[in-house]
Amino acid sequence: MKKQEWVEAFEAINGRSPSTQEYNDAKIKGEFSDDSPNESSDKTCPKCHQLNATRSPFCPNCGAKMDGSGNASVDVASDIVSGIANKINSVTGGEGPVELRMRDLFSEVFKKHTREEAENIFACGSEKTTPRLEDISREWPKPWYFARVFGALLLSSIMLYFMYITFHNWNVLPGLMFVSAMAGAIPILFFYFECNSPRNIDIMTVLEIFFIGGLLSLLATLMLVQIFPSGVGGIIPSMMTGIIEEVGKIVATAYYIKKLAEKRYIFNGLLIGGAVGAGFAVFETAGYIFQSTLVNFETMNGSLPVFNSDPSEAVGVAIMRGLLAFGGHVAWAAITGAGIMMVLKKQKNFDWSVLFTGESLRFLILVITLHGILDMNLTNSDGGELIKVLILCLIAVITIMIIINRGLKEINDLGSEVSMPLSIERD
């Protein structure tokens, strides 16, 4: 077996590329032969050992320089992120190293795509459009349509803002509030929709979960707030807010997972939870944007909220919460949804105890902690708070990558089980 054939076989079985250690061990054991002279070492990436058939100065797989120069700093950053990923994976019940292929995830974003390609994304979820297990893609997903959704919502928000400040028409303001509230959360939801390799959930179901699931999570949260104290700033009130809101979302997510009994892939949990989180995020963000347009007006009978026509603060709220979407409510709910599916792989039948069992409980504790820390005032400077937010978002994104890695491994394992009897029969 040649080197590239061994790498491809490893990826098909494990759902990821081999680590440097695994590659070297296999080479020592003689599991593959050296490349022929026409596949010289200058065509093999010094970092990931993939062949570069294009002879580009950069590896098309990992982006490292083919001559090995300037890769030291990249390696250090990569090692740090990989270390964090492996630690999170271990704490949440995973085994072995995690392959984070961020470059693959976004490789199609800036390429030109046809209308037919866009339509094919949504042709899924029915009996005729859901692929068989052996036909499900085992490669890292390469979503791109979510970026177009973001562009459309961003452009719409800018146009509404321009119309409002130019014509001073208050009828435009509600549209600006709601569209800008969606600009961050909805593209992330489409990202999860495109990542759903089993393609067994249609867009109408996703929209139902977004609206009804988002409202159910808000309802559960508001009911819990009436019973338990919460707040922001201090450690205890911030953590209580994290507990209340994340429990509210995981309850709504679990309801839809129970309802969609035949959808049991990890990717399904990621999408269902993401839809609930997106609904929660949009409704909550719209509320915060509305609140930012009100100012207190003191009267003899006390203060009254009065409308402030200046949209600058509202736009600031929309931008900040939009930027938080990829590492905030949408991601947190998606993480807990995937955690429930991991438990159901072992438990099979759904009951409400799965929320507080195994990986589901571990991921729930993780997102509660991230949420609580986000609401805490740890520093007195804007720069310090920004660094805190970026770190928390990075942890959430890495966790999503870990879940995608596990989702691919699940599909590879199930695919191997299906193909094994066929191989035996042919023999």
- Sequence-distant (6+) residues with CB within 8 A of 209 are 256, 272, 275, 276, 279
Contact 294, 306 (CB under 8 A): yes
Distinct helix (H) and strand (E) counts, the chain: 15, 2
Find the helix or strand (DSSP H, E) in which 6 lies.
Answer: helix 3-14
Side-chain half-sphere of 255: how many Cα atoms within 13 Å?
18
Matching residue, tokens 């979407």:
325
d(CA 276, CA 214): 5
d(CA 83, CA 391): 14
d(CA 64, CA 48): 8
* Token duo for residue 248: 């509210």
Residue type (1 letter), 117: E
pTM: 0.81
Nearest CA to 66 out of 56, 78, 80 is that of 56
Phi, psi (rounded to 5 degrees) for 31: -75, -15
d(CA 271, CA 196): 7
Length of the chain measured in residues = 427
pLDDT at res. 187: 97
User: Which residues in the chain show pLDDT less than 70?
Assistant: 15-16, 20-21, 34-43, 46-79, 417-427
* Token duo for residue 118: 């866009």
* Token duo for residue 218: 């808000």
Q: What pairs with residue 52 in β-bridges?
A: none
Q: What pairs with residue 302 in β-bridges?
A: 299
Contact 405, 16 (CB under 8 A): yes
* Token duo for residue 158: 């800018």
Q: Is 57 exposed, middle or buried (0-12, 13-18, 19+ CB in 10 A)?
A: exposed
DSSP string computed for 11-48: HHHHSSPPPHHHHHHHHHHTSSBPPPTTS-GGGB-TTT
Nearest CA to 289 out of 184, 213, 393, 375 is that of 184
